[in-house]
Amino acid sequence: MNLFSLIRAAIPSPVKTFIETNAGTILTYADMLARSGQLANVLVARGVKPGDRVAAQVEKTPESLLLYLATLRAGAVFLPLNTAYTPTELNYFIGDAQPTVFVCDPSRRDALSAIAAKHGAGIETLDANGQGSLTDAATKASSDFADVARTSDDLAAILYTSGTTGRSKGAMLTHKNLSSNAKVLVEYWRFTKDDVLLHALPVYHTHGLFVASNTVMLSGGAMIFLQKFDADEVMKLLPSATAMMGVPTFYTRLLKHSGLTKAACAHMRLFTSGSAPLLAETHVEFSEKTGHAILERYGMTETNMNTSNPYDGDRIAGTVGFPLPGVELRIADADTGTVLPQGEVGGIEVRGPNVFAGYWRMPDKTKAEFRADGFFITGDVGRVDPRGYVHIVGRAKDLIITGGFNVYPKEIEAEIDAMPGVIESAVIGCPHPDFGEGVTAVVVCKPGASLNEKGVIGELETRLAKFKLPKRVIFVEDLPRNTMGKVQKNVLREQNAKLYAS
């Protein structure tokens, strides 16, 4: 039941291309097998045993994906970390997950080795060109490796989600969670060995790592790896690709590109979008310009993919489609869990082989987010229309999604509130033409305090990942509150709705 055995079984031919990069690297499936085998031998030599964690904060390269595969083969648990995380944040993740090996960029080795050592992890390096102590050791290792057997309930990965209460939670994903979802997506989205996926997503997040890579690998297809999304680069590569998976920001950026035409997309069969709401206007405009209806789907770190617009049939703008085969979805009263009548708006709950095994070492938090009958409370609010399409209408949790990244306001508010001269703050997402939502801080200062926008952002820069930083800081006398004393973030959002208008 090791996911890697399914990946291995799907290899169409050893000479077939597995990954190519825009820098000219080409890896065949034979290379993938040999090099992931070498890396797995290095991990074992470094003391990694089945069930141990292997953490990685590394740039996206073919080698970073091979490290994920090597971890699976060794029966260990992969723990990818956002490259933007600061040492303070990493200290928490490494301390919480206690990996046996932590892989980082060589430029950060000095700054991070004490953190790794403190938590008992060995440190290895891998840079943006796929070079480092890890690959040095791998070149000397044997490529033969006997994959470690796993049961379907054994863990394959832990992905940290930001915590609404400040602490991040590690979502535990089993081999079955990942393989069942990837199998469903291969069929639903019709992936075959002839597909070439234009892969411009990060590989430390569920979208780029599992939705994109696992789906391609289980179909024996190929990927073109771009380290970052770049509209010019994507336009250049579209004629070599058949599919692209993106966040809405990719599509708004492509729409600004003068080269985006039907002819430019003639070789493509599928564009998908997820991780944040795709504006109906974007869907319509893209379809007018290219003839392609973007296929929007909905999922989350904890559940993998839950719903998708159909491959054949209407892909409806502003909806996330139907529950995927094997996924049960219901709309329930957020407080009581009572299932609501068809058409009503309520909390989205899901159950199925895609749903994670719980939060790492947080049994109480895990319990609180599941109903007694096994449904997971997603925290998203939605409804199902008469045709069965799911609509997401909001988020029960106070989440900002900026450029596809989740930002939990509480974490940033706590940092701002701790600054001298601050009484309180509210962090909100405001419509942003490029990022979807722009992180915005509204701050109340003590009389006479000499805080300014630049100073607040500068202070946060040392503590928080770049994507979490407010793009604007606004100073006000008071925060608007309702009769229950709760800050009315909706009022703040309305007041600042045009803050980033272009």
List residues binding ligand AMP (CB under 6 A): 161, 206, 274-277, 296, 298-301, 320, 378, 380, 392, 395, 401, 406
What's the CA angle centered on 133, arms 45 and 131, to 5 degrees?
130
**CB-nearer residue toward ligand AMP: 180 or 275:** 275
Helical ranges in 141-195 per DSSP H: 175-188
**CB-nearer residue toward ligand AMP: 141 or 212:** 212
**CB-nearer residue toward ligand AMP: 75 or 277:** 277
Rounded to the nearest whole angstrom, what is the least distance from the CB of residue 298 to ligand AMP in the complex? Answer: 4
Alpha-carbon separation of residue 31 from 36, 116, 127, 500 (angstroms): 8, 31, 19, 47
Rounded to the nearest whole angstrom, what is the least distance from the CB of residue 159 to ligand AMP in the complex? Answer: 8
Rounded to the nearest whole angstrom, what is the least distance from the CB of residue 448 to ligand AMP in the complex? Answer: 41
**CB-nearer residue toward ligand AMP: 61 or 378:** 378
Q: What are phi and psi of 431, to 5 degrees?
A: -50, 130
**CB-nearer residue toward ligand AMP: 44 or 317:** 317
What's the CA angle centered on 305, arms 148 and 376, to 5 degrees?
90
Rounded to the nearest whole angstrom, what is the least distance from the CB of residue 239 to ligand AMP in the complex? Answer: 27
Instruction: Please say whether the beta carbons of 221 and 194 come within 8 A.
Output: yes
Q: What is the DSSP string of 103-116?
A: EE-GGGHHHHHHHH
Rounded to the nearest whole angstrom, what is the least distance from the CB of residue 388 to ligand AMP in the complex? Answer: 16
Alpha-carbon separation of residue 429 from 162, 248, 442, 445, 491 (angstroms): 16, 16, 11, 21, 12
**CB-nearer residue toward ligand AMP: 120 or 433:** 433
Rounded to the nearest whole angstrom, what is the least distance from the CB of residue 399 to ligand AMP in the complex? Answer: 6
**CB-nearer residue toward ligand AMP: 132 or 403:** 403
Rounded to the nearest whole angstrom, what is the least distance from the CB of residue 78 to ligand AMP in the complex? Answer: 16
**CB-nearer residue toward ligand AMP: 4 or 298:** 298
List all residues 6 or more positions away from 352 whose beta carbon is below 8 Å from its beta carbon: 180, 326, 327, 328
Q: Using CA atoms, how far apart are residues 339 and 455, in angstroms rounded to an integer?
A: 48
Q: What is the DSSP string of 245-287?
A: EE-HHHHHHHHT-TT-STGGGTT--EEEE-SSPPPHHHHHHHH
User: Among residues 285, 252, 32, 35, which one has the least CA distance to residue 141?
Assistant: 35
Rounded to the nearest whole angstrom, what is the least distance from the CB of residue 213 to ligand AMP in the complex? Answer: 15
DSSP letter for 138, please: H
Interhelix angle 29-45/62-73, nearest 10 degrees: 60
Residue 311: how many CB atoms within 10 A of its CB? 14
